[in-house]
Structure 1
């Protein structure tokens, strides 16, 4: 769909190998002294380059699932997102369902930025603590739930970012297929946030090429 998707596969391969080991080597001391926190992302922030646009400290902790919730798309009080031109992701309680996502470890210095991205002060989203499951353990994480959600389909661009993030981090294939099957509003305009992401993804590609060994 976009020019930067062609090189995304190489980034995915590198990221997948990292995710398998990241939770095993992560030190919990930073969390215990309050300098970092865990954030569970399920929407566009699944994609590393998207989250790091405004939150540079974010590093992958692990892939995890949130039980008894489902993914939904909509807008706060029905006001369409100016950034994404369509519905955006939220989660809602739904017994028996599950939402897969990525747990990021972030510095407390990025907490205000993350809240600002989610429009917490405007009341669009509320931060909540949820327990997610991964590799036989439960983790307490910060995440966000939309207030006064009015259902609306996402733009193709927004959905593509979510799908890219799911691929990048190796979410279960059946869940990836579920994401790909979401119906969009077919918006075809260019979005400024996509232009920012294209630049960030190009930089990631360049870094990946620099560290890849020669055949």
Structure 2
């Protein structure tokens, strides 16, 4: 079976969410994306109908890191994953980049939002993220992910409120 690696940093950190439409997804490892930062926003400023607020994306930022989960998935789930990320509608673009683990670099598919307008995430969106991080809290990388996520959320709210 042909597979690919997918780096998740947002709502797809939660296994139950990702496997709903992509049943082949299995956790491969925790990794970090160097020189990027996690931000929240909406494509062209249009709030997500599902999440009612900003959603996660990444943007280039030398010196920063984004922690996330690398999933191994069957190629048969690729179309479903693209659909979930609204690739055809232009919301996100798929890219291949290297992420780092403690002992190797991995080439992974990930998604970056197009025309992102910063916006704070909804409580509903945050509630999906928290269990993903807390379920693996024994892992130092997940603790870093949660700390980074919380920091970004607070900064996004501050920016939105002036």
What per-residue deviation string (whole Å, max 9, x for no partner) do you get for residues 99-149 of structure 1? Answer: 000000000000000000000000000000110000220000000000000
Provide the aligned length of Structure 1 versus Structure 2.
131
CA distance in 2 between partners of 1:141 and 1:203 (Å)? 21
CA spacing shift, 1:205–1:92, aligned 2, 3 Å: closer
Question: Any residues of structure 2 matched to 1:20-169 within 5 Å, and which?
Answer: 35-160=2-127
CA distance in 2 between partners of 1:69 and 1:149 (Å)? 15
CA spacing shift, 1:37–1:151, aligned 2, 3 Å: same
Q: Which has the higher helix share?
A: 1
- 1:205 equivalent to 2:142? Answer no
2:21 partner SS = coil
Over 3 Å off, 4+ runs: 202-206
Point out where structure 1 has 5 or more consecutive residues left out of the alignment.
Answer: 1-34, 161-201, 207-215
Q: Which has the higher strand share?
A: 2
Point out where structure 2 has 5 or more consecutive residues left out of the alignment.
Answer: 128-134, 140-162
What per-residue deviation string (whole Å, max 9, x for no partner) do you get for residues 81-107 of structure 1? Answer: 000000000000000000000000000
CA RMSD in angstroms comes to: 3.4
CA distance in 1 between partners of 2:118 and 2:63 (Å)? 21
TM-score by length of 2: 0.77
What per-residue deviation string (whole Å, max 9, x for no partner) do you get for residues 161-215 of structure 1? Answer: xxxxxxxxxxxxxxxxxxxxxxxxxxxxxxxxxxxxxxxxx99999xxxxxxxxx
Show the counterpart of 2:149: none
CA spacing shift, 1:94–1:138, aligned 2, 3 Å: same
CA spacing shift, 1:204–1:151, aligned 2, 3 Å: closer
1:203 partner SS = coil
